[in-house]
Structure 1
Amino acid sequence: MLNKVVLVGRLTRDPELRYTPNGVAVANFTIAVNRPFSNQNGKREADFINCVAWRRQAENLANFMKKGSMVGVDGRIQTRSFEGQDGKRNFVTEVMAEQVQFLEGKTSNESSEQSQSGSPLENEGIPMDLSDDELPF
């Protein structure tokens, strides 16, 4: 059996950090992941994926990432159900994040919003001088 998810997308809102009664950090966040194709109108659509991170990873996510930040998530899909206040059974599907990669920092996201061209590192003043031999593809 295999349950593995790899996603790259942008946070749709700031991560929501909470603590369990035992003091364990948990962060809920949603990422928008672009679909690899266009719809009938020629526009790219996105899927909005609910994710959960735990412990130190949850705290780091809440402290260093915000709405619009690009993240990579490795994890697994998990489903659960609960009874709502109306008495109906609700089902939830989430990605339990085993690893979250910060693909850009707070400041690079803000500066990339101002200038939509170039790489995020370019806005940080870091030169990118790579030969073809150094590229991983």
Structure 2
Amino acid sequence: MASFNRVMLMGNLTRDIELRYLPSGMAVSEFGLAVNDKRKNSDGQWVEDVNFFDITLYGRTAEVASEYLSKGSPIFIEGRLKHDTWEKDGQKRSKVKVIGERMQMIGGRSDSGGGQGGSVREPSSSPQRYVNSNTDSGSPPPSQAPSQASQPSRDAQPTGNGPGYDEPEIPF
């Protein structure tokens, strides 16, 4: 039977990022993410629900997040769910966390974090940076890359390691 484990979240950091290194030299960062949701209750009143998620990033993605993001920063994370179990004081504990495989910083450098009244602003002067844990090319993912006709320069390449990504004739 086939299985599928993908999660996409956009929200704000609940705390500053903790960066550490494994004995192998691999960077690891951990932080919390708050995702807001609005819905109408049975009385017809708008109610805001907040969900909190623990996020873990590895490699260059972890280092970039640690360098540029702080509490309140808006961010988009794509990754997978992982169920962790451990024992503490004789009791078994568990939680589900998100292993981030790609992140996108939302907003410009001048943003102090926390968003703008619940909306996300697209910066007009500075491009968004895409970071993929498999590569650190800084280019947008294939599904969001600009088309060949609208961009004369081939600076941005799709991320990925599959066949055909380096062929210049493919209009992403």
TM-score, length-scaled by structure 1: 0.76
Q: 1:89 to 1:117 in 2, by over 3 A?
A: closer
Deviation at residue 16 of structure 1 after TM alignment: 0.9
DSSP-derived class of the 1:107 partner:
coil
Pairs within 5 Å for 1:56-135: 56-84=60-88, 86-109=89-112, 119=121, 121=123, 126=125
* 28-37 vs 75-84, which moves further: 28-37
Structure 1: any 5+ residue segments left out of the alignment?
127-137
Contact 1:25–1:54, Cα closer than 8 Å, also in 2: yes
Greater strand percent: which structure? 1
Deviation at residue 104 of structure 1 after TM alignment: 2.2
Structure 2: any 5+ residue segments left out of the alignment?
126-172
How many aligned residue pairs are there? 121
Give the number of the structure with larger relative contact order, counting CA–CA contacts within 8 Å between residues 6 or more apart. Answer: 1
CA RMSD in angstroms comes to 2.6
Deviation at residue 36 of structure 1 after TM alignment: 4.0
Q: 1:14 to 1:105 in 2, by over 3 A?
A: farther
Contact 1:78–1:94, Cα closer than 8 Å, also in 2: yes
TM-score, length-scaled by structure 2: 0.62
Could you give the per-residue CA deviations for residues 76-110 of structure 1, whole angstroms, max 9, x where no partner exists?
100011111x1211102101101011112453135
Equivalent pairs: percent with the same residue?
A: 31
Contact 1:39–1:45, Cα closer than 8 Å, also in 2: no
Q: 1:26 to 1:39 in 2, by over 3 A?
A: farther
DSSP-derived class of the 2:123 partner:
helix
